[in-house]
Amino acid sequence: MSLIALRAEIDAIDVQLVDLLARRQQLVQGAAAFKRDANEVRGADRRRLIMERLRRRAADQGLDPQVVDAVWTAMIDVFVALELSEHARRNG
* pLDDT in the model for residue 22: 98
Report the length, in residues, of the chain.
Answer: 92
Give the whole-angstrom CA distance, residue 63 versus residue 72.
13
Q: What is the CATH number of domain 3-90?
A: 1.20.59.10
DSSP assignment of 8-35 equals: HHHHHHHHHHHHHHHHHHHHHHHHGGG-
**pLDDT < 50 stretches in the chain:** none
pLDDT of residue 72: 97
Where do the structural domains in the chain lie, given as residue ranges? 3-90
Q: Distance (Å, rounded) from C-alpha 5 to C-alpha 11? A: 10
User: What does the pLDDT read at residue 92?
Assistant: 75
pTM: 0.87
